[in-house]
Amino acid sequence: MQNGYLTLETGEVFEGVLIGAEKDSLGEVVFNTSMTGYQEIITDPSYAGQIITFCYPIIGSYGINVMDDESITPALSGVVIGDLCETPSHYQSVNKFSEKLKQAGVPGIAGVDTRLLVKTIRSRGTVKGYLSRTKETEFDKTEKAPLWVEKVSTKKTQFFKNRGPHVALIDYGFKKSILNALLAENCAVTIVPYNTPYEKIKALNPDGVLLSNGPGDPMELKKWFPDIKKITQAYPTLGICLGHQLIALAYGAKTEKLAYGHRGGNHPVKELTTGKVKITAQNHGYVVVDESINENIFHVTYRNVNDKSIEGLTHQTYPIQTVQFHPEAHPGPSDTEYILKDFVNQLASLGETVYAAK
């Protein structure tokens, strides 16, 4: 194996051995605290343009299976791990982690002191990094990133027939698990591109709308806030992760970037109406600013136990609910599964009723 280097824009250099695709890569260096789920993580479209550092020390021990990809093509920029397991042991394994990266065209580096790297990110804040074969003391830190949502969103409408309520899933980089969860609840699902206007959503005649997770700064989608507001005023709506942020922004709230984000399967979130704490899976670098919420418009439903940030909202008038975490994921293992079920039950009870004036 060839030696490689991860150079941070703040000057720190981390050495290891290169794995995966043989190419250099630039990206925002983030870390994930999950103990399992590396296959789902590297195929999550929300990581588009980022270099993921896995906190768990051994990656690859149970291999790669044919079921757990969250997207067809990984969009992340790179992977950083401690120990690489090249002899996976699981009856469903069909591939090694390193081979999965190579086939997906994703570069990686193993043998890195990930504990030190994570401590560096936590002290510096999220920084750009350059993954390469040589020590790069200088690289373009000002290079403007593309609109990652546009890169990962579907380019055409897709329909999944079912016997239950019809949900329009606006794709900002949705995880397959969200689609599967809706289908498991007997929903018919139409997946539409991120920039689908209100009139086209209306033409689909859905019973409800789900705004998905996705990568990047939500303010990059400012152009579509008016359509998002119209859509949410016309149909029962659930926003997940980026979808949560976009709904808040569409109604006049603000977002800000966290120092190093929430990424992992062990984030405690308190449900304010019951006082119960849920264990949630999260993957986001931005949050809705507390002081920007108009209490006459939204009611805060969930808060992060660790930093008290907003984790969920409900609209005071319209049937709109949002969550910053992923209810379709199973870290609890099913602490927040009821959120999707309640959303679908709401659609079923409303039936074809249009509750807002078009």
Tally of domains within the chain:
2
Question: What does the pLDDT read at residue 354?
Answer: 43
The closest of 106, 108, 138, 107 to 13, measured between CA atoms, is 138
Q: Domain check: are 29 and 121 in the same one? A: yes
Structural domain includes residue 328: yes
Structural domain includes residue 139: no
DSSP characters over 156-188: S-EEE--SS-EEEEEESS--HHHHHHHHHTT-E
Residues of the chain above pLDDT 90, percent: 90
Q: Domain check: are 35 and 87 in the same one? A: yes
Residue position matching structure tokens 């409303």: 350
Average pLDDT over residues 179-190: 97
Question: What does the pLDDT read at residue 140?
Answer: 72
Q: Domain check: are 127 and 152 in the same one? A: no
Do 236 and 343 meet the contact criterion of CB atoms below 8 Å apart? yes
Over 90: is that where the pLDDT of 353 sits? no
Question: What does the pLDDT read at residue 110?
Answer: 98
Q: Domain check: are 207 and 94 in the same one? A: no
Average pLDDT over residues 241-265: 97
The active-site residue, picked from 40, 70, 311, 328, is 328
Structural domain includes residue 138: no
Do 283 and 47 meet the contact criterion of CB atoms below 8 Å apart? yes
Q: Domain check: are 89 and 22 in the same one? A: yes
Quote the mean pLDDT of the chain.
Answer: 94
Average pLDDT over residues 31-57: 97
Q: Domain check: are 157 and 33 in the same one? A: no
Q: Domain check: are 290 and 260 in the same one? A: yes
Please identify, among 132, 159, 181, the residue that sits at the C-terminal boundary of a domain. Answer: 132
Banded pLDDT at 332 (limits 50, 70, 90)? confident
Please identify, among 65, 97, 132, the residue that sits at the C-terminal boundary of a domain. Answer: 132
Q: Is residue 326 annotated as a catalytic residue, yes or no?
A: yes
Over 60: is that where the pLDDT of 358 sits? no
Overall pTM > 0.85? yes
What is the side-by-side strand order in the sheet with 310-315?
158-160, 188-193, 166-171, 208-211, 237-240, 320-323, 310-315, 298-304, 255-271, 277-288
Question: What does the pLDDT read at residue 355?
Answer: 41
Q: Is residue 262 annotated as a catalytic residue, yes or no?
A: no
Q: How far apart are CA 343 and CA 161, in angstroms?
A: 18
Q: Domain check: are 117 and 171 in the same one? A: no
Banded pLDDT at 115 (limits 50, 70, 90)? very high
Structural domain includes residue 358: no
Instruction: State pLDDT tens for residues 119-162.
Output: 999 999 889 999 999 887 677 766 778 999 999 999 999 999 99
Average pLDDT over residues 19-37: 96
Domain at 198, CATH number: 3.40.50.880
Over 70: is that where the pLDDT of 12 sits? yes
**Which residues span the domain enclosing 97?**
3-132
Average pLDDT over residues 193-214: 98
Question: What does the pLDDT read at residue 137?
Answer: 66
Average pLDDT over residues 69-97: 97
Q: Domain check: are 153 and 117 in the same one? A: no
Domain at 85, CATH number: 3.50.30.20
Question: What does the pLDDT read at residue 330?
Answer: 79
Q: Mean pLDDT lowest for which of 140-149, 164-173, 237-246? A: 140-149
Q: Domain check: are 81 and 187 in the same one? A: no
Q: Domain check: are 194 and 296 in the same one? A: yes
Q: Is residue 284 annotated as a catalytic residue, yes or no?
A: no
Question: What does the pLDDT read at residue 141?
Answer: 67
Please identify, among 107, 132, 157, the residue that sits at the C-terminal boundary of a domain. Answer: 132
Q: Domain check: are 126 and 13 in the same one? A: yes
Structural domain includes residue 357: no
The active-site residue, picked from 241, 262, 284, 311, is 241
